[in-house]
Structure 1
Amino acid sequence: MSDATDDVLATDVAAVARIDAVPAILDVVCRTTGMGFAAVARVTEDRWIACSVRDDIGFGLKPGSELKIETTICNEIRDSRVPVVIDNVAEDPLFCRHHTPSLYKFQSYISVPVMLPDGSFFGTLCAIDPRPMRLNTPEVTGMFQLFADLIAFHLDALRRLDTSEADLLDERQSSGLREQFVAVLGHDLRNPLASIAAASRMLLRMALPDEAQPLIGMIQSSVSRMSGMIDNVTDFARGRLGGGLVLQPQEAAPVRAMLEQVIAELRSAHPDRDIESDLDAVGALRCDPGRIGQLLSNLLANALTHGAPDSPVRVQGRMDGAFFELSVANAGEPIPPAVMRELFRPFFRAGTKQAGQGLGLGLYIADEIARAHGGTLGAVSSLAETRFTFRMPAG
């Protein structure tokens, strides 16, 4: 095997490790089915590599471990692209004499191919157990297929983002390549993301163990975060490629209700963080309430990412004469002056350990929303706090 091929496979294994939802998926799989081992595997013509593993039965595999490809059923799934579901090997006419179950001593087995959007085969989402299990039901097979699609979606998104970042590092590439990328990204990801959101809502209505509910909530939080990223890149592409930022202003918009909804959503997504709000002085405002909510969401997400985790994030809104003012403040290390000058530039990220979670468009889009409303967005940072303030005419 060439070093280049090894590097590609190592990159694929690492990509699965970057998907926060995968451990939760494997946990839900095991808890829902009762099976003791579940994994995401990278499968090629001559390699079977574990990318992520949940092992409660001492099967012995860890991320990066390999099995001989010819000893696995996944080898056959790679060729057929069809899931394999076995409730009880001893009673299964197709697999009762198959070498794999006897070699690895399992009685129940399910494996679903992970197919990337371009039609290529990545690997499998699989589970085994030494006991017979009832797996061949629409609920179980549907859940596995949805989770396999979710993993494929994330892998494709990571590949797109990695490709984009590599291109952006090359100063010889024109900015048009970047803008084409974000336009395609925002457009192509909305439909699969909507499918994943619908699937998670369907899972919540199923009879799952109580422990599975917060795990599905984690998936929904990831969907919400990615939805916000798609909104940002779509707005960026529209602004750069000719459409401009679209507003739908209302004469007396219910701004406070929108702001409270955004804060509630962020509190739900970050139950371990304290978000304080003071919106009593906020009245009706001539604006696009959805865009004002998006502005707050971006500022609040930024504060939660970069603020001190043991200190509250504070949101305050008020009418100041002829102006409306909205601020978001957090404790933490002050922003250096050199960084302050670049905060509202697209694709700028401050370089903190958590900055890789976004594309660097949140503050840029918030600033564009402020400008579209005839307002301003500014920031001040000191040892005491970092505060972003949006100010616009109230009439």
Structure 2
Amino acid sequence: MVPAGIADVAPWRDWDAAARGTLRFLHDYLGWDVWLVTHVEDDVQRVVHAHPDGAVRPGTELAWERSFCRQMIEGRAPRVATVTAAVPEYASRTTGLIQDVAAYIGVPLVTREGQLHGTLCAVAFRARPRSAARDLPLVETSARMLSTLLATFDDRQPGAGAG
């Protein structure tokens, strides 16, 4: 049993628990409406975890071609857009599931081999103040930590417990 004085900082049991805990922390600390951990495979971006619970169902798929995250990964758009309508690469993608996105922040999740695994990202349904760009270093560090944990749990498929 973990003593009460350290229980709140005990290691997560696996990568999925770390991802969920990270989303919960970022939502509580930084705000933004919906936080996601996604996995990209072939031409599909799949939601692995979302916070708050119920905001987006795990397993929801987005066409990678239409994704904000793809624009960010490929360097055509910035990692943070406090007003997506002001970034042409994001403004042109606000249809379907992402039609109400007014602000975006996202960072890649990378495998041990340096390949794209997915993203850690958030959206807001109202534009965010310019000062929200200061959130990026914390999101980048969180993504790097999740990527590091992904490498240590490489022998199992993260997201297997999603659902």
Q: TM-score, normalised by structure 2?
A: 0.73
The residue that corresponds to 1:294 in the other structure is: none
Partner AA of 2:88 in structure 1: L
Distance 1:82 1:147, change over 3 A: farther
For 2:88, which of 87, 91, 94 is the aligned residue? 94
Rounded Cα–Cα distance in structure 1 between residues aligned with 2:22 and 2:106: 14
Q: How many angstroms apart in 2 are the aligned matches of 1:159 and 1:125?
A: 18
Contact 1:113 1:148 in 2 (8 A): yes
Which of 153, 167, 173 is the matching residue for 2:148?
153
C-alpha distance in 2, partners of 1:19/1:43?
16
Q: Which residue of 2 aligns with 1:309?
A: none
For 1:101 and 1:114, the matched residues in 2 are separated by 25
Q: Which residue of 2 aligns with 1:31?
A: 28
Give the C-alpha shift of residue 68 in structure 1: 2.1
Could you list the runs of 5+ residues in structure 1 that have no partner in the other structure? 1-16, 163-395
Matched, 1:125 2:120: yes
8 Å contact from structure 2 (residues 68, 90) kept in 1: no
Deviation of 1:46 (Å) = 0.4
Which ranges in structure 2 are unaligned for 5 or more consecutive residues?
1-13, 157-163
Once residues 25 and 18 of structure 1 are traced to their aligned partners in structure 2, the CA distance between those partners, rounded to angstroms, is 10
Letter matched to residue 41 of structure 2: T
Contact kept? 1:44, 1:78, Cα under 8 Å: no
Please tell me whether the aligned partners of residues 101 and 107 of structure 1 are also in contact (alpha carbons under 8 angstroms).
no
- Residue 110 of structure 1 aligns with an amino acid whose one-letter code is I
Residues 171-250 of structure 1 aligned to structure 2 (within 5 Å): none
Deviation, 1:29, is 1.3
Q: Secondary structure at the match of 1:127?
A: strand
1:326-347 C-alpha deviation (Å, 9 max, x unpaired): xxxxxxxxxxxxxxxxxxxxxx
* Structure showing greater relative contact order (alpha-carbon pairs closer than 8 Å, 6 or more residues apart): 2
> Of 24, 35, 40, which aligns to 2:37?
40
Identity %: 23
CA distance in 1, matches of 2:32, 2:58: 19
Structure with higher helix content? 1
> Which residue is equivalent to 1:336?
none
Map residues 3-22 of structure 1 onto 2, 5 A cutoff: 18-22=15-19
Q: Which of 35, 54, 66 does residue 51 from structure 2 map onto?
A: 54
1:384-395 alignment runs, 5 A limit? none
3-state SS of the aligned residue for 2:43? coil
Structure whose CA Rg is larger: 1
Aligned residues: 140
